[in-house]
Amino acid sequence: MKEVKYEGMTFVPYISREEIEARIKELGNEITRDCAGKEPLFLCVLNGAFPFASDLFRAAEGIDGEIAFIRLKSYEGTASTGNVRQMMGCEKDLEGRTVIIVEDIVDTGNTIHNLIATLKERKPAEIKIATLLFKPEALEKPVKPDYVGFCIPKKFIIGFGLDINDKARDLNDIYVLKD
Ligand code: IMP
Ligand code: MG
């Protein structure tokens, strides 16, 4: 792994594909244990969460889960705009179901907080949050992820689904903005 450049900014290696893979397997096992017999609906928050959701869903193959997608947008460049727009919804009936929101990263918590409020109107039995990355120092909303891949400091990262203006999602490893 070496440095990569996007929009004139330099990013350095931070979390390797191997570490990500191993951690997702552990989360998949935890979910399999916790959700035995529940047939949960994995709700992947596009665009960023698609590689994580794909791996996590398959790491929990023992529980007969389903996967659905929703598309939200709150970030412009390297900063959260604070306003969350829903670009694509999910038509599944959520009533009485265990819903696992699958996010790439919880930063301010605005996106998840907003999404949970909307989902609750559809009367799921329970809502859980699985996020590959979590920046606890950036949190502004009372949000508590149930499954966290990695806790990281308040720094801007890219790769494995995470983007800079829609670029870099294809990187297999995660990179952090160089100081
Ligand atoms: P929040 O609403 O502030 O929690 O931000 C959630 C969304 O912002 C995530 O789902 C990401 O799409 C995006 N985001 C937050 N931090 C980063 C980052 O460090 N790199 C890339 N995208 C990020
Ligand atoms: Mg996201």
How, if at all, do strands 126-134 and 98-106 pair? parallel
- Give yes or no for residue 111 CB within 6 A of ligand 1: yes
Ligand 2 center from residue 49 Cα (angstroms): 6
**pLDDT per residue as tens digits for the range 125-176:** 999 999 999 999 999 999 999 999 999 999 999 999 999 999 999 999 999 9
For ligand 2, a single-atom ion, the residues with CB < 5 A are 48, 104
Extract the runs of DSSP E, i.e. beta strands, from the chain: 4-6, 9-15, 41-46, 66-76, 79-88, 98-106, 126-134, 147-151, 157-158, 174-177
For the segment 60-100, what is each residue's pLDDT rounded down to a tens digit?
998 999 999 999 877 666 666 666 777 677 788 899 999 99
DSSP 8-class letter at 125: S
CA distance 136 to 98: 25
- State whether the beta carbon of 149 lies less than 6 angstroms from ligand 1: no
Question: Which CATH code of 3.40.50.2000, 3.40.50.2020, 3.40.190.10, 3.40.50.970 fits the domain covering 23-152?
Answer: 3.40.50.2020
Name the residue ranges covered by the structural domains of the chain. 23-152
Task: Give whole-number Cα distances, 65 to 5, 11, 84, in Å.
Answer: 38, 36, 27
* DSSP class of 51: H
The tokens for 129 are 């949050």
Q: Model pTM greater than 0.75?
A: yes
Active site residues: 107
Q: Which of 127, 75, 74, 77 is nearest to 98 (CA)?
A: 127
